[in-house]
């Protein structure tokens, strides 16, 4: 149970928060006292997350439906947040999709699907949000694919590297009143990554992580909360890896089984 109240009296907007890392981050911020706006395309899931937060945390939550590929929806989302809570202090951009396509196989539809959701929406949501902030923090959720990647993850991997660059640009353009940072998760056990994963492969993945397990949404949420809080008051333009040590590995065949 989180005991800190670093976000008491603050309002946070978390995109892509009907499930996974986004939902976990919304809960963490509310655990620390924030009033949170949950958003995504699926009304039933979003309302369930908001109800759970309101019933189980010191904060409150409201669900506002928005399609992050729609610029008008994004503008209306920020407007609804400010109208509901009177302002905005923290934005976490967590909406994300991917395709399993190589650079020579990806179509224009694949390109638009990923870039509009994972990249353009981050820029547009931040642009509207900072206009409503006197002071505040933005956290962009990227991936360890920004630094190391795998075949057939294009354009997802290119976009995640772009998010790190966008964070640096925003940190310069919005400072000193708005800090902007990135959290870069690795293997996190969410529906998108584990639904089709058999037990043997999951055990293999756990064995090659120096922490001996896959991540949970709460692991990323804790890092995002730190970057959004005054504990990170001198941190902006940074990218924080939260990947259980995977990026420290040169060759898997040199590793022990970290679960032992």
Q: List, by residue number, the catalytic residues.
A: 156
Which H helix or E strand runs over 116? Answer: none
d(C-alpha 30, C-alpha 58), whole Å: 6
d(C-alpha 109, C-alpha 185), whole Å: 26
66-72 long-range contacts, CB within 8 A, separation 24+: 66/15, 66/39, 66/40, 66/41, 67/41, 68/15, 68/16, 68/95, 68/116, 68/117, 68/121, 68/125, 69/113, 69/116, 69/117, 69/120, 69/121, 71/124
CA angle 251, 256, 257 (to 5 degrees): 115
**Phi and psi based region of residue 9 (left: phi greater than 0; alpha: psi -120 to 50; beta: remaining):** left
Mind giving me the DSSP string for 27-77? HHHHHTT-EEEEEES-HHHHHHHHHHHHHHSSS-EEEEE--TT-HHHHHHH
């Amino acid at each position: 149970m989180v005991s800190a109240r670093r976000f008491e009296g603050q309002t946070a907007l978390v995109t892509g928060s009907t499930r996974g890392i986004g939902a976990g981050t919304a809960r963490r911020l509310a655990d620390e006292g924030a009033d949170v706006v949950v958003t995504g395309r699926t009304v039933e899931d979003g309302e369930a997350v908001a109800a759970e937060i309101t019933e189980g945390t010191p904060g409150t939550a409201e669900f506002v439906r928005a399609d992050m590929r729609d610029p008008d929806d994004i503008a209306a989302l920020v407007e609804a947040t400010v109208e509901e809570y009177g302002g905005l202090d923290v934005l976490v951009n967590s909406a994300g999709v991917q395709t399993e396509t190589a650079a020579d196989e990806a179509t224009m539809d694949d390109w638009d699907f990923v870039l509009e959701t994972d990249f353009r929406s981050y820029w547009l949501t931040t642009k509207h949000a900072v206009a409503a902030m006197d002071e505040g923090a933005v956290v962009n959720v990227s991936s360890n694919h920004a630094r190391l990647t795998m075949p057939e993850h294009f354009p997802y991997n290119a976009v995640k590297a772009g998010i790190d660059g966008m964070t640096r640009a925003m940190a310069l353009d919005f400072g000193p009143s708005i800090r902007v940072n990135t959290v870069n998760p690795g293997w996190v056990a969410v529906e998108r990554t584990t639904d089709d994963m058999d037990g043997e492969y999951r055990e293999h993945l756990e064995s090659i992580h120096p922490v001996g397990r896959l991540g949970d949404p709460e692991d990323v949420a804790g890092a995002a909360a730190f970057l959004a809080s005054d504990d990170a008051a001198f941190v902006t333009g940074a990218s924080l890896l939260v990947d259980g040590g995977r990026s420290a590995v040169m060759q898997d065949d040199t590793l022990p089984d970290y679960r032992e």
